[in-house]
Amino acid sequence: MMALNLDDFLLVNNNLGLRGGNAIMAQAARTIQNEIGSIGQGITYTDCCGGC
């Protein structure tokens, strides 16, 4: 399990909205998965609002 603490991510949501923030988090999960290879096959991002 990996947890990320992104200081001030609220600023991103305030500027881009929840959909924009969720898109950034989903892309971050894909990037991490690609970088760590096959051990990252189970990495997913689940947004806090159930698909806003």
**Across the chain, what does the average pLDDT equal?**
77
Q: Any idea what DSSP says for residue 18?
A: H
Read off the pLDDT of each residue in 30-52 and give the average, rounded to a whole number: 68
Higher pLDDT, 12 or 39: 12
Would the pLDDT of 26 be above 80? Answer: yes
pTM for the model stands at: 0.61
The CB-based long-range contact list for 29-32 (8 Å cut-off, 24+ gap) reads 32/2
Report the number of secondary-structure helices (H) and strands (E) in the chain. Answer: 1, 0
